[in-house]
Structure 1
Amino acid sequence: MRKLVALQVLRGIAASMVVIDHSILRHAEWHDYPAIVEVAAQYSGTLGVAVFFVISGYIMIHTAGDQFGQPGAALSFLRKRIIRIVPLYWLATLLEVALRLRKGGAVDPHQLLTSLFFIPQPVTEGDYMRPLVGVGWTLNYEMVFYCIFAATLIFRRTVGITLLFAALVGLVTLGALYKPLDDTSPPHTIIGFWTDPIILLFAAGVAIGLATSVIQRRQTIVRPVTVSCLLLLLYGTAFLFAHGAYPIPLAWQAGGWAICAVTVAVCVVGRQGKTTLSEKAGSKLGDISYALYLYHFFAIVAAEKAWWFALGKNPSLPFVGAAYLVSIAAAYAIHHLIETKAGRLLTPRVAQIEGSIRHADDAGIQAIPRQHATAPLR
């Protein structure tokens, strides 16, 4: 079955938005940028993460959406998710520990354990909730979503999906009692973290998966990748110049999330013609997006040291491009030398799903067969 190239490209775009965000902010530590550039970078990273979460919700409903009520489905689902997420993340965490110790720093054992097991903790009292590998904060949300999703697989499909939405909405409702929804600043407590409205992005992805499973795909050839880029560009431009505040006000945040959900939906529903060369390249970028997301900051710091050694701390904008390319190269190597091999080594042999349906995992999103794409909610 063909991959959904548009969705893979969008995943690569989302990862790139985060990398460019961090490249600019790192460069800003030794180069003066206009304030609007730094704000734009922060918006870029925020939208990239939102796209990731919506895609994650969509993927889960299609990789495990027909397993509701099946014996052992919950454990099988969690096993696959752990194999997909944990090895590369733990390796990144151990790399961070090694680098800190090499510089003479100390590592708090409690922080290390909470980082490894996806438990959010403030870096310091009252600080942001960040694990040792800073970008891992998004994985803390992912793992909570996976646990909730796995729990709902115990039930038949209609009941399980209802409980899934109820759990996500219920958590946000509970969180609103402790932290008003219009306070969009990062959470500083575990309750605030796990009940943040950002988890509704997973629900949006699931909703897209359910909706598109009963809608016939468009018969006209469209370019979802082009539409996706335009949607993100238009929203980002309007967002930046219409407000330009950070943290993002609630109305703008909700608008951004809606645009991200629409973008994912367009990539899913639109039928593509022959894949272009640029889309093939973008699909490859999507394949390495997890490694790119996890390891890009290590690559940015390495690029910075090399830049200083070769050119000094000159205020040259090409540094951002160089840091991005170094991040891509590092992610490509990690994906092929570590990620894919670890997946093959750890993935147990499992029985094929009944019928002709073959599921895709995050390493390659695949199209859903026609008989499944039009199946009713059961």
Structure 2
Amino acid sequence: MKLDWLQGLRGLAVLGVVLTHGRYFLGGTPNEGLGNLFFLPGAMGVDLFFLISGFIMVYTTQGASGPRDAALFTVKRFARIWPAYAVVTILWIFISRGGMGFFHDADRLRALFKSLAFQPLAPQEAPFFGLVFPLAWTLAFEMYFYIVFGISMLAGRLRWFVLASWMLLTLVLLPATHGGPTLNVQQYLSFRSAYMQLVTNPIIYEFLAGVVIGLIYLNPRIRIRNETVAWQTVVCSAGFVLWWGWSGVGGFHGPAGWGWPLALMVLALAIASKTVALTMPRWLVWTGTVSYSMYLTHFLGQVVLTRWLEQLGLHDHSWNEVFLTLLLAMPLAALSHRLLERGLGEWVRDKLVLLVNRILSSRAVPAPKEVIKMSKIAS
């Protein structure tokens, strides 16, 4: 089944995040309040990414189980996320964190290594955790869930039981021994390990919701028979998300904030897509395709744009600059997608896949066309 509607959602999600950060140009001006009103709810794009990620993990691993499939899943996810992230983090250091001087400080180097390993530097500052590259907090949750999901695949038919059991342990039982559990993603529980603050953070429920939606989507018996009802479901669920976000009722990340209305919307769209064609504009599907690159690079572009405007004496903290940061995000995303995701990322993926197949050579390597097709769906 075509998942253009899902790519379109990705496109909307990343555009929301870009505009959320673009509102910083209006800081300290009479338009700051209006900018927050319009653009701050766009941050819910992160929650939407988490839901979509859980969905895609289910969709792309149908029938997969055992050590080889689990290893391939994990290395492909690693190759897509980490190489591009590492490059952008180094670029961020040179652009915004002092350049070479950063590497002459032992404490900063330790912070860099921890950030590259997605270990929280400031566990009391959940869910952001103070990583060297500010946007990396989302990738820390993403990589954690990839690893847990990959491990659960080792259990074969019991993988959903294993996954649910682990989530029960980390999101309910362990937090109950340290002052939780809660649905507050800014919670700070009294764990000695900084990484446990990430593992027990309730924002992970959004990945789980995506997994459940994926399983429902793949069940052929669950569908809306009437096209009119299907369209009403789509419109009402999307409209509710808009109301929830822009009315100010739900004002932050997490399942108790923006997460649950978004989960209802994704569920509604997933089921409705079996009955009606949810077409998306080609430009929005393209934006969804390069969404990871746009997410990584738009913040770099915003910093560079600010300095360039300052040098020209044009930095006036206006709506024009919000527009420019959105405009700049597109070519930066295209370049990053070509060089980092498809270039460096696919090179790393191919090397890791070959390594997995040498170690676990129980089945033949998928044909190149199949590999490319799977990568496009999962990217």
Paired residue for 2:48, among 20, 44, 51?
51
| Range with bigger deviation, 167-176 or 54-63 | 167-176
Asked whether the 8 Å contact 1:81–1:146 carries over to 2, the reply is yes
Matched, 1:194 2:190: no
Asked whether the 8 Å contact 1:21–1:44 carries over to 2, the reply is yes
- Alpha-carbon distance in 1 for matches of 2:114, 2:14: 25
- Paired position in structure 2 for 1:76: 72
Instruction: Give the direction of change, closer, same or farther, for the CA distance of 1:53–1:359 in structure 2 (3 Å limit).
Output: farther
- Paired position in structure 2 for 1:332: 334
Asked whether the 8 Å contact 1:57–1:202 carries over to 2, the reply is yes
Deviation at 1:29, TM superposition (A): 3.5
- Once the two structures are superposed, the pairs formed by residues 1-378 of structure 1 within 5 Å of their partners are 3-24=2-23, 26-35=24-33, 37-38=35-36, 41-45=39-43, 47-68=44-65, 70-99=66-95, 100-102=97-99, 104-105=101-102, 108-122=108-122, 128-157=128-157, 159-173=158-172, 174-176=174-176, 177-179=178-180, 181=182, 183-185=184-186, 187=188, 189-215=194-220, 231-232=237-238, 234-241=240-247, 243=249, 253-254=255-256, 256-269=258-271, 270-271=273-274, 279-310=281-312, 312-346=314-348, 347=350, 348=353, 351=364, 361=374, 363-364=376-377
User: Residue 201 of structure 1 aligns to a residue in which SS?
Assistant: helix
| Range with bigger deviation, 118-127 or 27-36 | 118-127
User: Residue 27 of structure 2 aligns to a residue in which SS?
Assistant: coil
Asked whether the 8 Å contact 1:58–1:207 carries over to 2, the reply is yes
Instruction: Give the direction of change, closer, same or farther, for the CA distance of 1:275–1:198 in structure 2 (3 Å limit).
Output: closer
Asked whether the 8 Å contact 1:304–1:323 carries over to 2, the reply is no
Deviation at 1:323, TM superposition (A): 0.4
| Range with bigger deviation, 180-189 or 224-233 | 224-233
- Paired position in structure 1 for 2:361: none
Q: Which amino acid aligns with 2:241?
A: Y
Gaps of 5+ in 1: 367-378
Deviation at 1:49, TM superposition (A): 0.8
- Alpha-carbon distance in 2 for matches of 1:325, 1:247: 26
Instruction: Give the direction of change, closer, same or farther, for the CA distance of 1:178–1:317 in structure 2 (3 Å limit).
Output: same
- Alpha-carbon distance in 1 for matches of 2:2, 2:91: 33
- Alpha-carbon distance in 2 for matches of 1:322, 1:40: 17
Deviations 1:105-157 (CA, angstroms, capped at 9, x unpaired)? 56511111111112122199999503211111011111111111111111122
Instruction: Give the direction of change, closer, same or farther, for the CA distance of 1:301–1:142 in structure 2 (3 Å limit).
Output: same
Deviations 1:316-374 (CA, angstroms, capped at 9, x unpaired)? 212111101101110111112332122442324673669x98895464359xxxxxxxx
Q: Which amino acid aligns with 1:345?
A: W
Instruction: Give the direction of change, closer, same or farther, for the CA distance of 1:228–1:365 in structure 2 (3 Å limit).
Output: farther
Instruction: Give the direction of change, closer, same or farther, for the CA distance of 1:213–1:352 in structure 2 (3 Å limit).
Output: farther
| Range with bigger deviation, 165-174 or 29-38 | 29-38
User: Residue 247 of structure 2 aligns to a residue in which SS?
Assistant: helix
Q: Which amino acid aligns with 1:324?
A: L
Q: Which amino acid aligns with 2:68?
A: G
Asked whether the 8 Å contact 1:131–1:137 carries over to 2, the reply is yes
User: Residue 178 of structure 1 aligns to a residue in which SS?
Assistant: coil
Q: Which amino acid aligns with 2:41?
A: Y
Deviations 1:58-112 (CA, angstroms, capped at 9, x unpaired)? 11112123112x3422222211111111110111111122332338556511111
- Alpha-carbon distance in 1 for matches of 2:318, 2:168: 46
- Alpha-carbon distance in 2 for matches of 1:303, 1:341: 26
Asked whether the 8 Å contact 1:59–1:362 carries over to 2, the reply is no
